[in-house]
Structure 1
Amino acid sequence: MLTLRSIANPLIPVESAAGETHLRPQAIVIGSGFGGLAAAVRLGARGYRVTVLEKLDAPGGRAYVYRQDGFTFDAGPTVITAPFLFEELWAMCGKRMADDVDLRPVSPFYRIRFDDGSTFDYSGDADAMRAEVRRLAPDDVEGYERFLAASEAIYKVGFEELGHVPFSAWTDMARALPQLMKLEGYRTVYSLASKHVRDTRLRMVLTFQSLLVGGNPFSTTSVYCLIAFLERRWGVHFAMGGTGSLVKGLVGLIEEQGGRVLCNQAVTQILVEDRTATGVRLANGDTLSADVVVSNADSATTYRNLVAAHHREHWTDRRIERASYSMSLFVWHFGTRRQYPDVAHHTIAMGPRYEKLLADIFLRKHLAEDFSLYLHRPTATDPSLAPPGCDAFYVLSPVPHLQSGTDWRTEAEPYRLAIQQRLQATLLPDLENQIVTSRLMTPQDFQDRLSSFRGAAFGMEPVLSQSAWFRPHNRSEELDRLYLVGAGTHPGAGLPGVLSSARILDSLVPHADSLATRRAA
């Protein structure tokens, strides 16, 4: 069993493929979210002995799993797209993901319910989508097709070509700008959708996805319109057993590589010598050495809390505080004693306002009385997540981050009750009498439990001036041998984004063999 004391020395003798004894470098990954776990697998495949340090009592980070009263609740990501990015991690270990994780396609991807009670089933079926658009907005069918063509063009550049480019230098951005400008990356998500379709409800359908990565569609760069084609190309999936089954599978890969995932181990400082990251200090005072340090913690928190101020020239406290951050989330998990078979796996319940509500959340930092909701009913696909005859739910409301000044100690329950009443009046009749278990997560929890700066659920807001080279770099600008993965670095939030941030490390982190040879010499 590997103990904390036994990994203080980063170099562990191993046998090379040629039978020569050399030294195997150590990598430490801070945080066990999907970005950190994916990074650990990739570093293990490149010859590193990897230790993942997680401050919570179980791995997953935002993808933590709660088990309560016979119900299983995923705390974080529930929409799985681009499954090939997961499959690639298993393939690097000589395995098939399907042997460990059962991914099921979800259809429709989302059911959008408008405030007037009308609905739109959003799916990957081209004919079905045209029919839905024709039913909702018959004059916008051709415009919808043009929007999807624009989304595909952006996808091919923004995701396939640039999603795995590190943007370590301004010249990387300069080379990409002409393509992005040609694709109208200067527009916002909502502006690009409005260029092609006129119906206000259809514009909502084509733009709400940017909220899933923490962006206001009225200010987020239209590069994120690639999500529409990404979902069409790869589908929307759910992991049987919950998203936590993917976390469990990745932890298994790391352990099979000889790495470790250690929980209840909070990192309080990244150690530095000669402007090079050399290890970490834990909350219990132990120090662990490493040849490479990767932070999957929130990027603002990484620099502000883990790297001493005198080691920072770029990400100073002032710059971090002046940046704009994504909204936060109010999340209510609950289980019911009855089932609601007419409710889709993913439902987007629009409120009476769209642009003005988003302005309240992102610009005014005001907790409004109305809301739009994302309702997740995983038992629509996997009944095992609740006791027989019951349903598990997760409802999410975008809310301002902690700069709003909201005191969630007093506001949480009234806000939950308002959501309950809204759901009862629209989607879940008699809800108040059907709830058998309940738990809440507020912006304060995002800050205190998940170490998210200001409780922002997705890190820095994905506006053009905070994207690509303008975002905290995957290879730290401050320290050698420090790397960042996750929502707070390039390319951004969402499962495809955080998995791609780990993929970028392949082009940045030296192979372990080169370090071991150098150290041995």
Structure 2
Amino acid sequence: MKKQVVIIGSGFSSLAASCYLAKAGFEVTILEKNSGLGGRASKWSNDGFKFDMGPTWYWMPDIFEKFFADFDKVPKDYYQLEKLSPAYQVFFDRDDSITISDKIEEIYQVFENEEEGSSEYLKKFLESAKYNYDVAINGLVYKPGNSIFELITKETISNVSQFFKSISSDIRKNIKSHKLIQILEFPVLFLGAKPSKTPSFYNFMNHADFGLGTWHPKGGMYEVVNGCVKLAEELGVKIRTHQVVSEIVVKNSIIKGVVVNNQFEEADIVLSGADYNHTETLLDKKYRMYSQNYWEKRTFAPSALLFYVGFDKKLKNVAHHSLFFDTDFNQHAFDIYDNPKWPDKPLFYASFPSMTDDTFAPEHKEAGTFLIPLAPGIEDTPELRELYFDKIISRLEDITGNKIKDSILFKKSYCINDFISDYNSFKGNAYGLANTLTQTAFLRPKIKSKKVKNLFFTGQLTVPGPGVPPALISGKIASQLIINQFKEILSVNLKPLGSH
């Protein structure tokens, strides 16, 4: 008889894990409390416009390829990709911006034009970034985070110091231009920590940026969710929405099932892709691995204030991905990590997907998504949301020359309170735990419970960390641990992690 796996939540890590487990011979059911699938990678539609409410960047295309290859598929079986050109644009002031091309030689020239000699450093920096990317993707990020020895390889030993110094210190020793420093430090923000607290090893994110490029799935990131859902269903996974899990039932330290919508449902294995802290509150205290004090002391990646806006005209002088770095980066970071409060002058990100994908907005109109990184756990009110919307729209108008306040058809906001209510997110964080030195690899919360047999966790609070590609990897790691535990009764085995 097949073993029954219940997966809580339907984010990328849960969807990925469900595919591997179903392929391996388990009976898999996903329970999603919301009406839509994809977890934080949800969507919203209004008056002919649509929006990716969560991730909007498609980086590391090779990770998606590896995921689908494990099932003898390719991404284009489920969605179509195009490489963005330009990849993105960074605004520093009125008439002062840098456009990042999709071609590396043009990027070198941009650097050289800004600071003489910087292109030579960039070439060496990216050689190191590519090497670290290969080391990480071909092994390290697929480790389950059980021991420091997972990080000890001949490749890491040869440059062990990069785990104990920051990417920020490396860059600032060699680059003087404030603009170029911000461009090189920007990619590690996807890891949810300050560049000054992020180990140098993570410069592999710069290879993901300049080396692999920025891509766009036709129809948006939610088409990737749809692809994962379709694959899961093809493999026999059952998916149910509007399913609120209120208890994980344990007897004598062994999983027995869950209480969902006030009904007991039997399970041999429970895998939670929901918020880790919330998941443990579904257990009796004696079965929890981490105390509330533990979570309070963690460094969380930021939360965010997001706006989804419909404009009644096309915008000019902006790119599909636009970064507004016209204020003090260090001060904004301080207001997130060191003295949590609403930033006086926030940096922000804007996405205008309808510039390259006409499925996002009606003809002659524009869809815009705006994001301000915030400290998790701070006050969130309608008045603060409105104040900050006015701040960023005024700055966008001033910097780009777009007069758009009178062209707004509608807007929807999303912030800390929504992350809590929709995803049970600890303090309303948006991206999980930051990948700081003391929260990397084996120092992150464990995927396998040490107190409850057959209870597992996956997602951005476990290994490898925040982001969509790491979520796919986390799903694979968690599923492999489950498969290894039950391999003697399985008729189908997964390929070894990271192999194809």
Structure 1 segments unaligned to the other structure (5+ residues):
1-22
SS at match of 1:252: helix
The separation in 2 between residues aligned to 1:180 and 1:64, in whole angstroms, is 42
Match among 329, 334, 351 for residue 359 of structure 1: 334
Q: Aligned pair 1:190/2:168, yes or no?
A: yes
User: What residue number does 1:505 align with?
Assistant: 478
User: What residue number does 1:311 align with?
Assistant: 287
Residues 80, 510 of structure 1: CA spacing in aligned structure 2 closer, same or farther, 3 A cutoff?
A: same
Alignment of 1:137-216 (within 5 A): 137-173=115-151, 179=157, 182=160, 184-216=162-194
1:356 positional shift: 1.7
User: What residue number does 2:434 align with?
Assistant: 461
The separation in 2 between residues aligned to 1:351 and 1:450, in whole angstroms, is 32
Residues 338, 31 of structure 1: CA spacing in aligned structure 2 closer, same or farther, 3 A cutoff?
A: same
Residues 78, 401 of structure 1: CA spacing in aligned structure 2 closer, same or farther, 3 A cutoff?
A: same
1:432-458 CA-partner distances (Å, limit 9, x unpaired):
111112100011211222211001111
Residues 364, 117 of structure 1: CA spacing in aligned structure 2 closer, same or farther, 3 A cutoff?
A: farther
Q: What letter corresponds to residue 294 of structure 1 in structure 2? A: L
Q: Aligned pair 1:321/2:296, yes or no?
A: yes
SS at match of 1:374: strand
The separation in 2 between residues aligned to 1:501 and 1:103, in whole angstroms, is 23
User: What residue number does 1:37 align with?
Assistant: 15
Q: Aligned pair 1:514/2:491, yes or no?
A: no
The separation in 2 between residues aligned to 1:37 and 1:321, in whole angstroms, is 29
1:183 positional shift: 5.2
Match among 443, 448, 452 for residue 479 of structure 1: 452
Tell me if structure 2 keeps the 8 A contact 1:140–1:199: no
The separation in 2 between residues aligned to 1:328 and 1:58, in whole angstroms, is 21
The separation in 2 between residues aligned to 1:464 and 1:426, in whole angstroms, is 36
Match among 375, 392, 409 for residue 367 of structure 2: 392
Tell me if structure 2 keeps the 8 A contact 1:157–1:179: no
1:216-258 CA-partner distances (Å, limit 9, x unpaired):
2222222322111123443221111111111112111111222
Q: Aligned pair 1:300/2:274, yes or no?
A: no
Tell me if structure 2 keeps the 8 A contact 1:45–1:92: no
Residues 123, 166 of structure 1: CA spacing in aligned structure 2 closer, same or farther, 3 A cutoff?
A: farther
Match among 97, 109, 118 for residue 119 of structure 1: 97
Q: Number of residue pairs matched?
A: 490
Tell me if structure 1 keeps the 8 A contact 2:145–2:444: no
Residues 247, 271 of structure 1: CA spacing in aligned structure 2 closer, same or farther, 3 A cutoff?
A: same
430-439 or 409-418, which deviates more: 409-418
User: What residue number does 1:6 align with?
Assistant: none
Q: What letter corresponds to residue 396 of structure 1 in structure 2? A: L
Q: Aligned pair 1:369/2:344, yes or no?
A: yes
Tell me if structure 1 keeps the 8 A contact 2:31–2:239: yes
Tell me if structure 2 keeps the 8 A contact 1:300–1:488: no
Tell me if structure 2 keeps the 8 A contact 1:47–1:513: no
Q: What letter corresponds to residue 268 of structure 2 in structure 1? A: D
Q: What letter corresponds to residue 477 of structure 1 in structure 2? A: K
Match among 383, 399, 402 for residue 410 of structure 1: 383
The separation in 1 between residues aligned to 2:58 and 2:364, in whole angstroms, is 26
The separation in 1 between residues aligned to 2:10 and 2:449, in whole angstroms, is 19
Tell me if structure 2 keeps the 8 A contact 1:69–1:437: no
Q: Aligned pair 1:470/2:446, yes or no?
A: no
The separation in 1 between residues aligned to 2:17 and 2:154, in whole angstroms, is 25
376-385 or 478-487, which deviates more: 478-487
Residues 129, 502 of structure 1: CA spacing in aligned structure 2 closer, same or farther, 3 A cutoff?
A: same
Return structure 1 stretches of 4+ with deviation > 4 angstroms. 173-178
User: What residue number does 1:17 align with?
Assistant: none
The separation in 2 between residues aligned to 1:466 and 1:176, in whole angstroms, is 22
Q: CA RMSD in A?
A: 2.1
351-360 or 325-334, which deviates more: 351-360
TM-score by length of 2: 0.93
Structure 2 segments unaligned to the other structure (5+ residues):
492-500
Identity over aligned residues, as a percent? 27
Match among 364, 376, 383 for residue 358 of structure 2: 383
Q: Aligned pair 1:494/2:472, yes or no?
A: no
User: What residue number does 1:12 align with?
Assistant: none
